[in-house]
A and B are shown apart, each in its own frame.
Chain A
Amino acid sequence: MATQPLWRQAVDTVDNAITPTVERVVHDETFGLVVTVLHRTRRGVGSHIERASRHVLHALNLPAGSDINRLLTQIAYVEREVRELRKLIDDQLPSP
């Protein structure tokens, strides 16, 4: 097998040295807790901002992102219904 160039050997040495430590940190319970707390905080802050901006936008008679998301959900629901109906019809028709 060909010998690796020096730079590659150096990278592999660093990789082998740090990987076990980084993996231990990432798989640790504390890391999981920190990620969970950060995730919840981000969602909480996001929903506060969303509520505040919605009040402002609605006061100006403008749609907010949440209104658009609600529309998106409704359109998706209608599209699913249309799909199901189309499939019902297609399945009744004889195959060509």
Chain B
Amino acid sequence: MPNSHPFPSSPLARYLLQIADDQLVMGHRNSEWTGLGPILEEDIAFSSVAQDQVGHALAFYEYLQAECGADDPDQTAFNRPENQMLCNGLVEQPIGDYAFSLVRHWCYDHAVRLRYESLSGIENKTLQSIAVKLQGEVKYHTFHADTWMKSLLQGSEESRLRMISAIKEVWPLALGMFESWVGEENLSTEMDPNGQAWYPGEAALRLQWQVQAFQSLQAWGVDVDQWALSKLEPVLGGRQGFHTEHLAPLLEEMTAVFRLDPQAEW
């Protein structure tokens, strides 16, 4: 579609780009477990989740190209400077130990689930179909993450302590997934076919996410008040193009092959 405005051209395009960038970077990080997983099944699980996530990023980059004037998906994914990437700080972090990656996976995929649930209420039929389709795949991610969170939080004393320590480390970054962004208000006033706003805005999504996360943690024996999780300050910046120090080296590696020949046909 010809477009004289710089991309992303609309609040919707920007929102979808944020989701796509999160998925791309998260997928890249999760793929770093390939060959390193603590047991074979987990190696395969993180690799499969990674594969899904890069596929989800592609679905949105393709939509942005077809409908919002974005460049082709390879260019959008691999040829933007760091300050134009809109991913959050959580997905940028190195994989750390398995506890860190697992807690991140749990926090992240539940947030994605809520975003897809909300997006499936949009009037736009194409996006609605994409959201419905991807929701089914994310159900496997949250199922996998829930199973291991529960097992390890209710496992040995060591597994419990290591998980709690990872939760405390992840939490401020996880809250940063819901950073407010330029144009958010305009999207919040867009209506679904029933005249309801399909996108509740970041603050509402964060609240919904945290209420559900606390319910699960409490059911698994974590005292969320003792660790003052609700009082932690979010790590912000990603949605404005300001990133943690971990994104630049990741982009360097992720785009290395692409930069050898940016116009190559794959």
A and B form one complex: no
